[in-house]
Structure 1
Amino acid sequence: MEFDFLHPLSDDIIEHIQSLSSQNLGSKVVLHSKSDFPDINKVQLAIIGVLENRGDSNQINDVDLTAIRKEFYSLYPGNWQASIADLGDIKAGEELSDTYFALKSVVGTLIKKRIVPIIIGGSQDLTYAMYRSYDTLEQMVNLVSIDSKFDLGKENATDMALSYLTRIILEEPNNLFNYSVVGYQTYNNAQEEIDLMEKLFFDGYRLGEVSSNIKVSEPVFRDADIVTLDLTSIQSSSSGNFATFVPNGFNGKEICSLARYSGLSDKLSLFGIFNHNNSKSEAVLIAQILWYFIEGFECRSNEYPFTSKEDYIKYIVPLEMEELVFYKSNKSDRWWIEVPQIINRHTKTEKNSLLPCSYEDYLGAINQEIPERWWKTQRKNII
């Protein structure tokens, strides 16, 4: 059984949680201990540690998630109703591929049960195994990475952490529909990688663009199936990670906002945090990132896919060559744009699809500007 790959929490963590007040978060979470395993049928969110970093040669220390769990369970929950379980850890297998297989199996089973896994690693190449868990679900996948790099290295690169996306793009079955990077920094990426992102019609949002208006990223997360967070995208002054010094990156408030956007997405079914440097200071921030993700999950409006068009206002914007159709939710004031004549890659049938967008996209359309994400989505479906 897939859950046999999961190892219980250590006695140290269990004892720490038991020493906390009944008001702390630890008392609200069902734990995988040596004597008990959570009832999966009663779980909505599942926290899983993955003690694997061999995919990144720069990671020389073993993965230790103890400080993260102690900090997280010492926090106080919001007015949450979601059932949360900590399923323990997937330990490093004999080979890196063994760890990938275990993670793929566990995540795939949870997603089929409509449980949202929250993965804490480990190196970021674990994203590859998370993506492969969708192989049996027969759906296209939108992957969003909060990262300063594209990770589009050569396919045969020794470091999977620097090239996992290349493997995702090239390997069959190819379930990837769109890839978006939020917070990339140009000087950390080769020009040929930036050009490739454009040729593949993927989305890249520079750090400065997001930091100056963080709301620009919300539609991207609303359209995501998987979100992965590379902790090296956070500036060291906020993360406390001075082992890998990062002078420029997201600050603590910004990264927590992005985590909340991820949790808010009705579509998102998998979230991952990677490249923890085992420091207590960074563990404090990770605990708050987890908190904000769950806060977002609790605030989901469940308005997509649309259940009734009566809950939305339809706006039609005529352009010279196109007619764009927008929908605005009466519940959350969020916007979608209709992408017509989508060709399903499996059935070859045509249908309309709704792409999350912003109010600014609507205003731009009024001024005869076609939204860039709409155009890229159209191009991917025509090819």
Structure 2
Amino acid sequence: MNFNFLSPVSDSVLAHNELLSLQALGRKIKIHSSQNGIPDLDDVNIAIIGVLENRNDINYIGQDFQLDEIRKSFYSLYPGSWNVTVADLGDINKGESVEDTYFALRESVSILVKKGVIPVILGGSQDITYANYRAYDGLIPMVNIVNVDAKFNLGDSTKPIKNNSFVGKIILDQPYNLFNYATIGYQTYFNSQEEIDLMDSLYFESYRLGQVSKDISIVEPVLRDANIVSIDLTSVKSSELSLNQKYSPNGLDGKEICAISRYAGISNKVTSFGIYEYVPSKDDTITSMLVAQMIWYFVEGVNFRVKDDDFSDDRNYQKFITLVESEELVFYKSNKTGRWWIEIPFLSEVNNKLKRHTLLPCMHQDYLDACNNKVPDRWFKAFQKNCV
């Protein structure tokens, strides 16, 4: 396996790890060390990779950073009653150019996903999501991305990629593999009206912070449908974070960001998960512990994955049909988990992008709305995208 790009976990973290209880996570996971090299990945389910790249941050002034505090915090936690195996593969250092770093991550993610290992990427600037997305070019035909962020990051895609414009690049750069892009926790005053209108015109999904805080469960279906989940730590409110990490007085709280991480883990489709915009500071224990707990909840979610979307055997599900206006909507409910899906009809006369996306995750509430003659928003957007 060619993981030449990865440097081992630092000796100071390993020394700290030796002082931990034998029951702690750090004593139970496989770790890439300078002494033992890269661990064998045959029985590994989740692999942590640090990416020490932040040169495309719009506020970059030459500062370096490291992820040691996150590792110390994560290693010190205790695992749940898990059947999953976690490895820490160390860090991808800055390449000669940012493109070199992107290449290293793309190759690493591609190798891991092909092996059935879920990479958890810990990063500097969030433009690294672009490299994560490009790793899927040869893996699956269409990709769904969920971005947990206060901003849409569409930016000006005619200019070089930055951490506030990488989504524009993902949408416009060939090959065009993006099917759905959804933002969770956006805050209207951080986004221009043009960007909000563009999200609507492309039939992408967006969930305002207020909606998410009112009922966190509304984001579960969109995370169930995601391949890539990318979290920007600036989406978390400043009172939850360390000094250098503070961004906005409003944002997701610690419980909400951990719930979102767990939903991402439970999703059978999510094959890579990234946490970005980490900025160490002198009083850093709060942010590093929050990130550690987010990883913990993601692992916990992966451990509780249930294959409940096999609709070939009618003993596995219940089927509900309802009429909305003149449209027949077909819903499925899993007998194993109680999760809901809605069918998107094929349009035989158009080029169908949705060959593998005929069933769209939804909520019980969508079925209740349909019974009251209201078209579910997710269904409408997917249907429209399929017509384009």
TM-score, length basis structure 1:
0.96
Whether 2:371 is the aligned partner of 1:366: answer yes
Tell me the residue number matched to 1:33: 33
Could you give the per-residue CA deviations for residues 46-103 of structure 1, whole angstroms, max 9, x where no partner exists?
Answer: 0000000001031443121000000000000000110111011000000000000100
1:159 CA drift (Å): 5.5
Which segments of 5 or more consecutive residues in structure 2 lack a partner in the other structure? none
Whether 2:265 is the aligned partner of 1:252: answer no
1:346 CA drift (Å): 8.1
1:296-315 equivalence runs, <5 A: 296-306=301-311, 308-315=313-320
Whether 2:130 is the aligned partner of 1:128: answer yes
- Taking a change above 3 Å as real, the CA distance of residues 363 and 236 of structure 1, as seen in their structure-2 partners, is same
Partner Cα distance (1:270, 1:165) in 2: 17
1:85-100 equivalence runs, <5 A: 85-100=87-102
Q: Is the 8 A contact 2:50 2:92 kept in 1?
A: yes
SS at match of 1:68: helix
Could you give the per-residue CA deviations for residues 142-199 of structure 1, whole angstroms, max 9, x where no partner exists?
Answer: 0000000000110133561011011111111010000000000000001100010011
Whether 2:231 is the aligned partner of 1:226: answer no
Partner Cα distance (1:343, 1:373) in 2: 21
Q: Is the 8 A contact 1:267 1:304 kept in 2?
A: no
Partner AA of 2:122 in structure 1: I
Q: Is the 8 A contact 2:58 2:164 kept in 1?
A: no
1:19 CA drift (Å): 1.6
Deviates more, 1:228-237 or 1:59-68: 59-68
Q: Is the 8 A contact 1:328 1:334 kept in 2?
A: yes
SS at match of 1:136: coil
- Taking a change above 3 Å as real, the CA distance of residues 155 and 64 of structure 1, as seen in their structure-2 partners, is same
- Taking a change above 3 Å as real, the CA distance of residues 348 and 160 of structure 1, as seen in their structure-2 partners, is closer
Whether 2:288 is the aligned partner of 1:283: answer yes
Whether 2:337 is the aligned partner of 1:332: answer yes
Whether 2:158 is the aligned partner of 1:156: answer yes
1:43-192 equivalence runs, <5 A: 43-60=44-61, 61-158=63-160, 160-192=162-194
Partner AA of 2:8 in structure 1: P
Partner Cα distance (2:356, 2:158) in 1: 38
Partner Cα distance (1:122, 1:345) in 2: 41
TM-score, length basis structure 2:
0.95
- Taking a change above 3 Å as real, the CA distance of residues 109 and 351 of structure 1, as seen in their structure-2 partners, is closer
1:351 CA drift (Å): 7.6
1:280 CA drift (Å): 2.5
Partner Cα distance (1:153, 1:313) in 2: 43
Q: Is the 8 A contact 2:154 2:165 kept in 1?
A: yes
Partner AA of 1:37 in structure 2: I
Partner AA of 1:314 in structure 2: K
Higher helix residue share:
1
Partner Cα distance (1:125, 1:202) in 2: 19
Which segments of 5 or more consecutive residues in structure 1 lack a partner in the other structure? none
Partner Cα distance (1:345, 1:18) in 2: 60
SS at match of 1:224: coil
1:349-360 equivalence runs, <5 A: 353-360=358-365
Partner AA of 1:115 in structure 2: V
Q: Is the 8 A contact 2:69 2:285 kept in 1?
A: yes
SS at match of 1:310: coil
Identity of aligned residues (%): 51
Partner Cα distance (1:184, 1:78) in 2: 31
- Taking a change above 3 Å as real, the CA distance of residues 293 and 194 of structure 1, as seen in their structure-2 partners, is same
Partner Cα distance (1:242, 1:63) in 2: 12
1:242 CA drift (Å): 4.8
1:201-216 equivalence runs, <5 A: 201-216=203-218
Whether 2:238 is the aligned partner of 1:236: answer yes
Query: Paired residues, what number?
Result: 383
